[in-house]
Structure 1
Amino acid sequence: MKLKQIEEYEVNPFTMFIKPIVYGSKIYSEIFEVEDKFLSPFKPLDIIKNSCEYYGSDYEGRRNGTKRLVGYAHKIPITIDPTNRLFFFPTTSPNSQECIWISQEHVKKCIRTNPQETLILFNNNQSYTFPVSCRSIMTQLERAAHLSTKLMQRIEYNERKSFYLLQRPKAMEASEDSFRYGKNKIKDKS
C-alpha cells in the first residue's frame, strides 16, 4: 500500500485505525483505511476531534455523553458518528503521544503475540501488530461494543416511537355537539 500525504482527513466508514508516527520533529498520523493508507500532518487525537466536529458534535461532548451513557471514565471509546457506525477506541490515554485509535467495526480477531503486543486481524483480512496487551484491546473492544449497543438501542427506540406517533389512528370525533372556543355552537349534525 502506497502512503499518500493529505492535508485534511475525516474519519469515515473505511477508516480502520489511526496511529501516531514521528515525522521529523513532529507527530503525524498514519491513517489505515480498508484499501488505502495516508499520512496526515495532524496528531491522531486532532483527527478524532476534527472528525467529531465534521459530523456535528465536539470531542468533549462525545466524551461526556459516553461517560453518562455507559459510565466509563478512562480510555473512553468515542462515537464519531452513530449513523455510520463510527465507534473508535484509544489504545492508551488519548493524550498520550503513543495513542492509536482503532475502529471497533473493523476488528475481526485479536491474537496475543507476547504480553505487551497484540496482532489484530481486520475484516479486510489485513493484520497489524499493536504495542498493547491483548487483554487491554479486548477490554477496549468490549467498551466500544457496549457504547455502540446502548446508543443504537436509544436511536432505534426513538425511531419506533416516532413511527408509532406518525402511524396511530386519527382521533375519533366526539358524538356530542361541538363548540368553538366554548361560545358558539357549531352546526348541529342532526
Structure 2
Amino acid sequence: MIDNFYSPSYEVTPLTMAVIAQQDENGNTSSRVLEEQEEYVILHSPSKMIDNACKFFGSSLRGRQDGTRDICGITHKAPISIDPTSGMYFFPTTSPTNAKCSWIAHSHIDQVTQGPGRQAEVIFKNKKSVLLSVSFGSMLNQVQRTAQYRYLLDNRIKYLQRHNSDMVAEPFA
C-alpha cells in the first residue's frame, strides 16, 4: 500500500530508495521520498534531508562530501555514504546546491534506462521507477562513480576490521 501525505519530519533509512526534488507553483522545494513500500512528501529539500540523515550518523553532508574527495578524488556531484554499515550510499542527480537536486540510493537500483528526451529512468529492485530530468549518460556515470566509491570505502572498513586487534587502544590506568 502506498501512503501519500505531508510529514514535517522524516528519517532516511536503508528502506529509502530515493529523495526526489519537487517544486510547487511558488517555487518552494519539497521532497518526494520513495521507500520500498511507501511514499511521503516532506517539506524540506532533498539535500537538507540528506544533510539531516548524515547528522543523525554523526557527520554532515559537507563532511561526507569531504570524505568522498579524500577517498577517491570526486569533487563534483560526489556520492556519499550516509552510513556504510547499513549500506546507505546515495548520489545526487545534480549539484546538491541546486534546488532540483534529487538523491538516489545506490543499493536499490536495478537498472537505468534512456527516457524520453534528456531524461533517464531509474528502475528499482522492487520494480518501481522514477523518471528524472538528467541525461542517461550522467545518470550512468553517477551509478559507476558511486560503485567505485563504495568499493574503496568498503575495502578500508574491511582492512580495519581485519587488523582491529593490532589497533586496539588501551585505556589509561
What TM-score do the two structures reach when normalised by structure 2?
0.90
Q: In the alignment, which residue of structure 2 is the partner of 1:2?
A: 3
Matched letter for residue 19 of structure 2: I
Task: Find the partner of 2:81 among 79, 82, 94.
Answer: 79
Structure-2 change in CA distance of 1:115 and 1:54 (3 Å): same
Q: In the alignment, which residue of structure 2 is the partner of 1:160?
A: 162
Structure showing greater radius of gyration is 1
Identical positions, percent:
31
Matched letter for residue 139 of structure 1: N
Number of residues of Structure 1 aligned to a counterpart in Structure 2: 166
Moved more, 1-10 or 75-84: 1-10
Structure-2 change in CA distance of 1:113 and 1:21 (3 Å): closer
Q: In the alignment, which residue of structure 2 is the partner of 1:19?
A: 20
- RMSD over aligned CA atoms reads 1.5
In structure 2, how many angstroms separate the alpha carbons of the residues matched to 1:161 and 1:80? 24
Q: In the alignment, which residue of structure 1 is the partner of 2:171?
A: none
CA drift at 1:4: 2.2
SS at match of 2:123: strand
Task: Find the partner of 2:151 among 149, 152, 156.
Answer: 149
Unaligned runs of 5+ in 1: 167-190
SS at match of 1:114: coil
What are the equivalent positions in structure 2 for 1:21-100 lying under 5 Å apart?
21-23=22-24, 25=26, 26-100=28-102
In structure 2, how many angstroms separate the alpha carbons of the residues matched to 1:101 and 1:125? 18
In structure 2, how many angstroms separate the alpha carbons of the residues matched to 1:87 and 1:57? 14
What TM-score do the two structures reach when normalised by structure 1?
0.83
Structure-2 change in CA distance of 1:157 and 1:98 (3 Å): same
In structure 2, how many angstroms separate the alpha carbons of the residues matched to 1:165 and 1:91? 38
In structure 2, how many angstroms separate the alpha carbons of the residues matched to 1:112 and 1:90? 18
Matched letter for residue 137 of structure 1: M
SS at match of 1:143: helix
In structure 2, how many angstroms separate the alpha carbons of the residues matched to 1:42 and 1:24? 16
